[in-house]
Structure 1
Amino acid sequence: MKKYFALLLILFCIISIDAQKDSMRTSEVKAGSEYRKKTSADKIAEFPGGHSAFMKQIINNFDTSKLARQNLSKARAIAVFDVDTDGSIINLKIESYDNELVKQEFLKALGKIKTKWIPAEQNGVKVKNKMRQPLQFNLD
């Protein structure tokens, strides 16, 4: 069990470099939506301690034992959420996934994160910021 967790932890660290590019990018916003009409903020939302601190919390909250019992060795999922003007994660959902169990564990891991983000800003005003966080692991 510890071997699987160690492998998962190493893989998450490697993937976090690539994932950082995706999660720190704002998505295109449709005109008329509740988001600002401009597609990018002057300052995007930031997790205290940076993306590595965010990934560490995901890893700490992610239960790999269920995946190991199912002999699940590879999986991918993409979470999307908004960082609200108070720094809270809201509208959390899984955009795509390979396995229902991975989807559930990823949602649970993200839902346990209570650390507030530093909100995005547009012209000095705090705004919602759409975020995207991929998850990919391979225990082979």
Structure 2
Amino acid sequence: MKKITLLLLLLCSLTGFSQSTETQADNNIYNTAGIDTKPEFPGGIEKLNAMVNESYLKSGYASEKKGKVYAMFVIEKDGSLTDVKILRQVDILKAKELVRILTTLPVKWTPGKQNGKTVRVLYSLPLIIGT
């Protein structure tokens, strides 16, 4: 009986110390400068700017003067945007509206790639808003 118990304990300890063969998902956020394939918006940045500006003006900011606002966000592996921040000094309500517009865009980005794998990418760009 003691031999069987010892054998079971030995087998259990071996499985506890064995290495896992599972690969963990790469959730690092890469900079656009250091990746093989940069993320792209379908139709280009001009189309993105037009979509954002159209939504912004429809939100009741039609009388706004034309200006440049800097946005920074993470393009996820599925092409959606997260962690959106407006970097230039603007009114908090306008910044919240721009964040809402960017996170609810009907078109997703083509994500970036590193070593042939889709990765999360930190992206920043200037947006021209107003009329």
Identity over aligned residues, as a percent? 27
Structure 1 residue 83, shift from structure 2 partner: 0.7
| Corresponding residue of 1:44 | 38
Unpaired stretches in structure 1, ≥5 consecutive residues: 1-32
> What displacement does 1:99 show?
2.4
Shift of 1:90: 1.3
CA contact (8 A) 1:78 1:132 kept: yes
The higher radius of gyration belongs to 2
TM-score (norm 2): 0.63
**Mapped contact 1:61–1:112 kept (Cα < 8 A):** no
**For structure 2, which runs of at least 5 residues remain unmatched after alignment?**
1-26
Q: Secondary structure at the match of 1:97?
A: coil
Q: Decide whether the 8 Å contact of 2:31 with 2:123 is kept in 1.
A: no
Aligned to 1:94: 86
Q: Residues of 2 paired with 1:37 and 1:109: CA distance?
A: 23
Residue 64 of structure 1: CA displacement? 6.1
Q: Is the 8 A contact 1:75 1:99 kept in 2?
A: no
Q: Report how many residues are paired.
A: 105
Change (3 A) 1:56 1:42: same
Q: How far 1:57 moved relative to its partner?
A: 1.4
Which residue, out of 42, 51, 54, partners 1:57? 51
CA contact (8 A) 2:28 2:119 kept: no
What amino acid maps onto 1:35 in structure 2? Answer: I
> Are 1:130 and 2:122 counterparts?
yes
Deviation (angstroms), 1:100: 2.5
Shift of the 42–134 alpha-carbon distance from structure 1 to 2, 3 Å rule, reads: same
TM-score (norm 1): 0.60
Superposed counterparts of 1:100-139, under 5 Å: 100-137=92-129
The secondary structure found in structure 2 opposite 1:62 is: helix
